[in-house]
Amino acid sequence: MQISAKAIADLLGGKIEGNPDVLIHGPSKIEEGQVGTISFLANPKYEHHAYSTKASVLLVSKDFVPKAPVYATLIRVDDVYASVAALLRQFGDQKPNFQGIDKDAFVEDTAEVHAEVAIGKFSIIGKNAKVGQGTIIYPQVYIDEGVVIGANCILYPGVKIYKGCQLGDDCILHANVVIGSDGFGFAPKPDGSFEKIPQLGNVIVESKVEIGANTVIDRATMGSTIIKAGAKLDNLIQIAHNVEVGENTAIAAQAGIAGSTKIGKNCLIGGQAGFVGHIQIADGTKVQAQSGINKSIKKENTAIYGSPALAYNDFLRSYAVFRNLPDLSKQIKALQEEIKHLKASQKAE
């Protein structure tokens, strides 16, 4: 694929400075730019690369003022990151190398599969399952009995969707995602062993949700575990039974959410954050990476940090004291010695 700088500018609604006819065959990082690639400058920390990059075209903000000559053709845009996202979609919009239902796929006779789908080798579509128009199912995907998959979804290799779970339209599930595994429900017995509690619910993933590789979402004990529309889940996330994740909430890798916790909409949750069960997190909450949340957050748009988590600014102030504890300890001991000598001097008088 080759595209001119002018065509890119037209696509992004940007303004060109330089050669509009230069041809681009792909994107590159600004520090690794090569002739024929397009890169971008959004973070001022990388500005020095703008003056040395070999990239042929550079996306910059409309208010960028170069401090030295820039040899790349510039395309000035209102929002660099949004423009990069649009551009990467353009370069990355590639169809799989298979169409229709592969002869080595297995589709139950009672399954309802739209005529316009792609199902790869060794994938299995179970009894009474439904697959919507335009959905792409890569090889070695397992769709269990009664599963409903909406239109224009992409399921990458190794995805497993258990019985009765539902997937909305325009969802992307990356490799080895598991939807609907049993929730972690066990009742302790008098002899110290555990009795498994049947998990009879399902998982509902609404539309425009993206789920990263190796993430697991457990089915509800009763009712549904729900991932609401527009949520974005990174790799290696554990979501337990009866959890709800709100609209347009983003959760980074290795986070864990215990059973029946409700996460609000538009929340941002950092990597390795952990939530205890049966709490509620208000809309717009921001959770710093590695924080441990052990109680409900009731005020919207709160930023928290630490384990157990505190208000973000309170944690920073506390940490400023904590990291100085060794020096503070020495100062206290010195003061104690000084007080001891002063008392001894007073007694001597």
**Which amino acid, residue 268?**
L
DSSP character string of 139-184: TT-EE-TT-EE-TT-EE-TT-EE-TT-EE-TT-EE-TT-EEEEPP-
Long-range contacts of 87-91 (CB under 8 A, 24+ apart): 87/8, 87/11, 87/12, 87/27, 87/38, 87/59, 88/27, 90/3, 90/11, 91/1, 91/26, 91/27
Distance CA 146, CA 127 (A): 6
3-class secondary structure, 134: coil
Alpha carbon of 215 to those of 139, 158, 223: distances in Å?
A: 18, 12, 21
What is the sign of the dihedral through the CA atoms of 196, 202, 204 and 209? positive
Q: What is the phi/psi pair of residue 344, to 5°?
A: -65, -40
- Catalytic status, residue 241: yes
Q: Which of 25, 49, 174, 241 is catalytic?
A: 241
Q: What is the phi/psi pair of residue 293, to 5°?
A: -105, 115
Which of 201, 205, 123 is closest to 169 using CA atoms? 205
The number of residues in the chain equals 349
Asked if residues 57 and 38 have their Cβ atoms less than 8 Å apart, the reply is: yes
Helices (H), strands (E): how many in the chain?
5, 40
Token representation of residue 89: 């979609």
Q: Which residue has the tokens 């039974």?
A: 241
C-beta neighbour count of 277 within 10 angstroms:
14
User: According to DSSP H, which parts of the chain are helical?
Assistant: 5-12, 47-50, 80-92, 312-322, 325-348
Distance CA 349, CA 342 (A): 11
- Catalytic amino acids? 241
